[in-house]
Every structure is written in C-alpha cells, then in structure tokens.
C-alpha cells in the first residue's frame, strides 16, 4: 500500500481534504505529513500534477500585498508552497509552517513533481 494518496514516487504530495502534505523519495515518505492550508472558496488550489518551476527565498505577493517566505512555485499562475498561516486559507497557495516551508524550499528541485489530490 502506498504511504500517501498520491501515485508519484518522488516529489511532493498534497491532500486537500486532510490538509496534509508529504515529501516522497523512492516511494517512501522522506518528510511529513505536515499540516497545510490551501485555497479558499473562489481561489481553490488546482488538482493535478505540476512541475516545480522556480524558487524565491524572500518573495512578496504583489496581487495580495504580503510576504511569501520560502516560495516554491509549481504553477504558471503563481501558486507555491510558502510559509503562511495554518488557520487562514490562502488564495490558492499551500501554506506551511516556517520549518516545513524551509524544508520544501531546500529539498524540492526544479522540475520535480508536485501532485495535488482532493
């Protein structure tokens, strides 16, 4: 049985229904589960498989005028893992606590897969 609800063996897995995420290496959990918050109504985090596109350590969200430390982007529309509130839903991004955000930033490589499941 797979350790997560995702079918990838390497990369990041996000399960929106349980507000959890994992880093996977060779079909094994390397990190997690960690608590997340995701997109609020009208700004839902998209389901699917996405490549890590870029990483910005000290990012600032221009549309929402707020800090996005340790941003690891995985969609062309600007959705990323980043440090953020674990109680307030996002505008589509995946919020992580400070330790997890830094771990994801440092351990996910450009091109690696991020899978988002319901």
Domains of the chain, CATH where assigned: 11-117 (2.40.440.10)
Residues 6+ apart with CB under 8 A from 64: 91
| Alpha-carbon gap, residue 30 to 48, rounded angstroms | 21
For the question of whether the overall pTM of this predicted structure is more than 0.75, the answer is yes
The continuous run of DSSP H or E covering 107 comes out as helix 98-107
SS3 (DSSP) at 106:
helix
| 7-53 per-position pLDDT tens digit | 999 999 999 999 999 999 999 999 999 999 999 999 999 999 999 99
- Give tens-digit pLDDT for 74-118: 999 999 999 999 999 999 999 999 999 999 999 999 999 999 999
Pairing, β 20-25 against β 11-15: antiparallel
């Amino acid at each position: 049985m797979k350790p997560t609800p995702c079918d990838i063996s390497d990369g990041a897995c996000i399960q929106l229904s349980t507000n959890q995420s994992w880093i996977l290496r060779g079909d094994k959990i390397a990190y997690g589960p960690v608590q997340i918050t995701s997109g609020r109504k009208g700004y839902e985090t998209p389901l699917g498989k996405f490549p890590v596109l870029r990483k910005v350590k000290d990012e600032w969200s221009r549309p929402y005028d707020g800090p996005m430390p340790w941003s690891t982007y995985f969609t062309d529309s600007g959705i990323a893992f980043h440090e953020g509130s674990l109680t307030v839903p996002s505008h589509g991004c995946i919020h992580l606590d400070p330790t997890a955000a830094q771990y994801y930033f440092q351990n996910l490589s450009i091109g690696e897969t991020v899978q988002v499941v319901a």
